A and B are shown apart, each in its own frame.
Chain A
Amino acid sequence: MKVWFHALAATLLASALWMQFTRQRAPASTDLQSSLTQALLRAGYTPEGAHERIGGEHIMSFTRPDCATPMRIVLIPTLHRDSTQAVMAAQNGGPPPVYIYRGEPVAGPSFWSVTPPWLARQLRAAFALGPEISAWDAALLAVFEPQDCAEKPIEWPR
């Protein structure tokens, strides 16, 4: 029995798993929520009401003194996931949302509208040509924006 080989293998496995664990733990979904809330606070909005969770998705409401109806946002923390339930709950019969990916509006939550910018960023980061990958690279926003308070643009978190 090669005891030294077992010891080496166990040490390598344990250290690699430990490195994976600490690196994966870094981007928590609360970071996404707090950076989204801060961007909206800068645009004059304040959080309103309880923050709901449907499945893995967060539904948040924000309001501003010049808006009659609050703005509802569904934060979808993982791309290409089944978020229909949460989006329909937030829509509640009203007009459809505007989808925002990394600060830019995209055509919809479909695979093809999100994949090109996502893939471009992943490739640029892989070849060290672009900024580092952040938690926002895998997050999509469905924004139900009231018509009457659309003047002041919001700087969506990237």
Chain B
Amino acid sequence: MRASTVFGWLLVFVAAQWAAYKFAGYGPVSAPSELFDIFSVLEIIELALIWRLFDHKAALPQISALEGVALLFASTTVMIAGARKPMLAAAAISFIVFARFSLIPAFRLAAAAQLAFIAQFALLGWPFLQFHNFVGRIDGFFVRAFFRAKSVDIAGAGTYVLRPAQNIGFDIMWGCATTTTLIPNLFGFFIITLGMRRRLVKTDIVWAVLIAISTAPLNWLRLLLICRNNDSYVFWHEGTGAAIFAALYAGLVLGAVHSALRTGERP
């Protein structure tokens, strides 16, 4: 049978586990509009481009029906065994897909891109939390220094930013450290650029560095707004403000992709 049939279905399996992970982290959904809070636009574009990445023009590679069925059953077993850890299941299926389909030239890029798509969530996970907490300490230093310069009440140390007079406190842990937004932005940039152009060029690094330089001040601005007072916390941490920043980051990444595609085409 066609290898693309098997690849397509396994990609659906990976996407389903990714969606399960997103829903598990969010809790019950009461309105369809909440889906915009759960899934980021960049991630949807990345998934769509991964499907577009394999070479549709190459002579249709074939895979034996037995192997296709075996791959489906292996992925289902992983999903049932990792029922409580959807991202772990997604990573395992993604690895199976990479191990098999990177052997077929027409699928090599798509197999690598779907592994990278899942790897960005692994980089936000457990062993790397220590790294994000370390970056959070640096973020906390800047946020406290700003409030102190404005001679506003401020306390706290390390990742903690405390405002005793406002009776609020904020812990810049892994969830809000600069690297937590930087990793999805960079992976988004590289996967979307690869999806549009089918290869990466050296000058793409310039745009990646520009994304990194712009993400840090944007995140510090958000942290300052979060630590201002309680209403501001609710708006910028969970409310519309969080969506505004997500839109800003999406604009930043898509703008960088656009520029990279224009400049990178020249030899």
Contact = CB atoms under 8 A, between A and B. Distances in A.
B65 A5 contact: yes
A80 B20 CA distance: 21
A20 B233 contact: no
Interface in B62-93: 65, 68-69, 72-73, 75-76, 79-80, 83-84, 86
B24 interface: yes
B41 interface: no
Best-surrounded residue of A2, A13, A81, A83 (most CB of chain B within 10 A): A13
A111 B129 contact: yes
A5 B73 CA distance: 12
A16 B80 contact: yes
Contacts of A80: 129, 173-174
Interface residues of A, number: 26
Interface stretch (B5-13, B104-112, B190-198, B199-207): B5-13
Contact of A20 (B83, B169, B174): B83
A16 B75 CA distance: 10
Contact of B65 (A2, A15, A24, A88): A2
A8 B83 CA distance: 20
Nearest to A92: B167
How many chain B residues sit at the interface, stated as a range, is 35 or more
Interface string B200-230: 0000000000000000000000000000000
Nearest to B24: A24
Contacts of A20: 20, 79-80, 83, 86
A12 B76 contact: yes
A123 interface: no
Contacts of A55: 238
A142 B125 CA distance: 25
B160 A8 contact: no
Nearest to B158: A110
A50 interface: no
B61 to A, nearest CB: 15
Interface in B140-170: 160, 162, 167-170
A17 interface: yes
A13 B12 contact: yes
A23 interface: yes
B130 interface: yes
Given A8-B72, A80-B173, A88-B169, A13 B13 contact: yes
Interface of B: 1, 5-6, 9, 12-13, 16, 20, 24, 27, 65, 68-69, 72-73, 75-76, 79-80, 83-84, 86, 129-130, 133, 160, 162, 167-171, 173-176, 233, 238
